[in-house]
Each structure stands twice: as structure tokens, then as C-alpha cells.
Amino acid sequence: MSSGKCADSIELSKLIEYVSRELGTDEEAAFEEHFFTCPDCTARLTMLADLGDGIAALAGSGSLFASVTQTVLDRATASGLKLRSYRLEPDESVACTIAPDDDANVIRLVADFAGVDQVDLDVFSVEGEQATPTEHLEDLAVDQDSNELVLVYPGAAIRALPQCTFRLELTGRGEGQQRRLGTYTLNHSPWPER
Amino acid sequence: MTQESRSRPEAASDAELAQRIYDTGGAVAEEAELCRRLTPRVRAFGARHLGDRDSAFDLAQHVMMLTITKLRRREIDEPRRITSFALGAARMTAQNMRRSELRWRELQEGPSAIDDLAIAPPEPLDTERLGECLAGLAERERSVVVLTFYDMQTSRQVGAQLGVSEGNVRVIRSRALSRLRECMQGEEGR
């Protein structure tokens, strides 16, 4: 019949494994035999596939803030995305901007992440001596290959900023302790009008 | 088959619809209903094997054209096993599309093209809303779904890149997608 709940109660995790290309060949073929007769599983699969497609589209346009890895940046660059990248050591400052045709800014924060299970980031807007907290981000993903925290900021959001300074403070938690991993300063200037 | 299901295509099984098209050499309402049901299944298959919505839709159009054409011409041995036929056609066509980057423009020129079959395109995704939903995820969840769906990494690869176990990646990914699904469905319910 044309509708109804799945009689085999296929779990969401199985659907995700299918969409994520993680089922073995035989298991995948058997699952396809099933969902071709199951409107319920098809509807749930379609929803997941659409979400995946949307995530890829947003990430691929540089309009999604996320901590990512070098492989994501490589894919973005290969597909034609223009990324303006800044790499900062602890206690380092950098003058940064974004060009009209840049799709995103990439901020790479170097630190000693050894023994750290969780990395948190506090962002402060700095004016003179005053630092105002603007954002607190918890449990950011660190790229294990580069040993950096790689942050992608959407170009449109950065382009809207006036001349300003941000201080980024990284904190690591692990082994029952908390320690400061580094402080980084971004001195942003809008792209000069010609 | 009941009397009611014989008169109402939407109440008939897939097999019954296929049998009616086969028997009559073409039945408009039954063909439309069969397309309505099978197109999403082929699209879901195409999204997995071809990687994007456009190619998946191309695949769905071709498979449905082929399926209906074969039924009308009685070129299918077992019309009541129509879902198996559609899956087989999807597998073969997807393989050809991957091999030769064949697209709908070329497929349309094939012998299966028929004019009176309307295949509805997929609903456009509300990417603005999805962006809002993604912003509401935990940072690690967002990273995992970006690596999974943009960088096409398996949970093992994501785990290696982010320094977490494969099992943990699956948990994070599942939680993230559940939250995104709820968030997007919440939007539909507004």
C-alpha cells in the first residue's frame, strides 16, 4: 500500500549509515531492496539526504561558521572558493581584512593541544582598554593533522564589520585541569574603497 | 484486490498499479500514482550513489520514464514485481551515469522518453532555515556534519581528523542530524 510506518523498524542510525556511505555492499543492497518497498523509510531517507545536500551547499558556499580541517579547506579551494587565511601563534596579533570577492576568512590558531580533551573559545571585542565578551564557544574540533584550530568565518559577516579589534582566548580542558592555550588578536580593517 | 482498490489508484498496491498499466497499455491515474510513489525512492537511491539532488532527479526521471514505457509496452516479464524492476533500472542507470557522466539531457534522447508523464521536481530546500538550524548545533556537531556531508568523509576518517573515536563520531552525527531534522520540521509546522 502507499503509506504506513516501516514494518521492519529500520533505525535512524542505519539510515544515516546508508546516506553516509558506510554500509557494506551486501547490507547496502539488502537495505535498498527494503526501502524500495517502504514509503516510510524513503521519506526518512529523503529528509536525511536533503539535509546532507543542504549542509554541503552551505559549507561549499563559505556561508557557514565552523571549525574544520585542512581537507575541508582543500576541497573548498579546489571547487573555486576564495579563502583569505590568517595563521596565528599564541600571543600573536594580525592585521586582517576581507576582499570583496573573498568567500570566507580562515583563522588558524596554533597551540599546544597535548593532553587537551576539550577546547573552548572566548571572543572579546576590544576598544582601548576595554574588552567586552561577545561569544563563548565550547568544545571546538581541532584538526589533528595540522594541530590547529581552523575556523571558517563567512565572508558576508566579516564584510559587515567596521574597523575593529577582537581578542580570542583559547582554553583547554583535560586530565582534570584547565589551562590557557593562547591569546590571539585580530585587528580587522574593511577592504579599502577605490 | 478489493473493489475499492480497483477504483482508487491511491488505495492500490504498487504491484496492482503496475498490473493495471500493463493490462491496459497505459492508465493515466495509475501511472501518476506509481510515479508519485517510486520517484522519491529512486531519488533517495540517486542521492546516495550520485551525490547530489540534480543528478538524483535526473536519475528518477529516467527510471520512471523507462518503467512506465516498459509497462505500457508489456516489456516487463513480472509487472507485479515493479519495485524490483525500478531498483534494477536505478542501479544500472546510476552506474552508467557515473561511468560516462551521462546527464538527463542525453538520457532524454533515448527511446524511453515519453511526453505525457509529469515527474515532480523535489521541493527546494530552505537553506536559510537550514543555516539557522546549523547555527544552533553544538560546535563539534557542526564540524562533524560538515566533514561528513561536504568533505564526504566516513565516521572513521572524521574520527581520525578530529581525534575522537569512530563510535563517538557516529553518536555526534546521529544527534546532530536528529536535531537538524527536528529544527527543519519545526519550521514546516509554523
Give the residue-averaged pLDDT of A82-98: 97
Q: What is the pLDDT of residue B17?
A: 95
B116 is a domain residue = no
- Our count of domains for chain B comes to 2
Of A22, A47, A66, the CB nearest to B154: A22
CB contact under 8 A, B11 and A1: yes
B178 vs A contacts (CB less than 8 Å): 12
Contact B14 A50 (CB under 8 A): no
Residue B106, pLDDT score: 55
A46-80 pLDDT per residue, tens: 889 889 989 999 999 999 999 999 999 999 999 99
Distance of CA B152 to the CA centre of its chain: 19
Contacts of B13 in chain A (CB under 8 A): 1-2
Establish, for the pair of chains A and B, how many residue pairs have beta carbons separated by less than 8 Å. 163
Question: Do the Cβ atoms of B146 and A64 come within 8 Å?
Answer: yes
Residues A121-150 pLDDT 10s: 999 999 999 999 999 999 999 999 999 999
Residue A27 has pLDDT above 90, yes or no: yes
Pair (B145, B98) in one structural domain: no
**Architecture of the domain whose range is A83-188:** Sandwich (2.60)
Where chain B has pLDDT below 50, the residues are 1-2, 4, 111-113, 189-190
Same domain, B94 and B34: yes
- Sheet of A164-174: strand order equals A93-96, A177-188, A164-174, A118-127, A130-137
Domain match, B78 and B160 both? no
Pair A36, B85: CB distance under 8 Å: no
Nearest CA in chain B to A66: B143
pLDDT, greater one: B123 or A117: A117
Shared-domain flag, residues B96 and B144: no
What distances in angstroms separate CA B160 from CA A109, A121, A142, B163, B169, one per listed residue?
19, 22, 11, 5, 10
Instruction: Provide the CATH number for the domain around residue B155.
Output: 1.10.10.10
Average pLDDT over residues A88-98: 97
Q: Cα–Cα distance between A119 and B164 in angstroms, integer?
A: 13
Write out the residue range of the structural domain in which residue B137 sits.
127-188
Which of B41, B127, B143 has the CB atom closest to A54's CB atom?
B127
Instruction: Determine the distance in angstroms separating the CA of B107 from the nearest CA of chain A, rounded to an integer.
Output: 22
**pLDDT for A176-191, tens place per residue?**
899 999 999 999 999 9
Q: Is there a contact between A110 and A91 (Cβ–Cβ < 8 Å)?
A: no
Closest of B180, B71, B169 to residue B126, by C-alpha? B180
SS3 A86: strand
- One domain, residues B32 and B66: yes
End-to-end Cα separation, chain A, in angstroms: 65
Residue B52, domain member (yes or no): yes
Segments making up each domain of chain A, as ranges: 12-60, 83-188
| Residue B113 counted as domain residue | no
pLDDT in the model for residue B99: 74
Partners of B137 on chain A (C-beta within 8 Å) are none
State which residue of chain A sits closest to B55, comparing Cα positions: A53
Predicted local distance difference test score (pLDDT) of residue A124:
98
Taking Cα atoms as reference points, which of B79, B81, B64, B88 lies closest to residue B21?
B79
Of B44, B75, B107, which residue constitutes the final position of a domain?
B107
Tell me the nearest-neighbour CA distance from A97 into chain B, angstroms.
23
Let me know: does A107 contact A67? Beta carbons within 8 Å: no
pLDDT score, position B103: 56
Please give the average per-residue pLDDT across A8-14, as a whole number: 83
pLDDT reported for residue B4: 45
Q: Are residues B168 and B135 in the same domain?
A: yes
Same domain? For B98 and B24 the reply is: yes
The reported pTM is: 0.86
Contact at CB, B174 and A12, closer than 8 angstroms: yes
How far, in Å, CA of B83 to CA of A34, rounded? 10
Angle at CA of residue A53, ends A138 and A2, nearest 5°? 120
In a domain, B87, yes or no: yes
Q: What is the spatial distance between Cα A95 and Cα A97, in angstroms, rounded to a whole number?
A: 7
B52 shares its domain with B138? no
Nearest CA in chain A to B127: A54
pLDDT for A3 beyond 80 = no
Q: Which residue from A minimizes the CA distance to B17?
A: A1
Distance separating alpha carbons of residues A96 and A109, to the nearest angstrom: 14
Do both B137 and B175 map to the same domain?
A: yes
Comparing B146 with A10, the larger pLDDT belongs to: B146
Q: A9 pLDDT band (50/70/90 cuts)?
A: confident
State the nearest Cα–Cα gap between A12 and chain B, in angstroms: 8
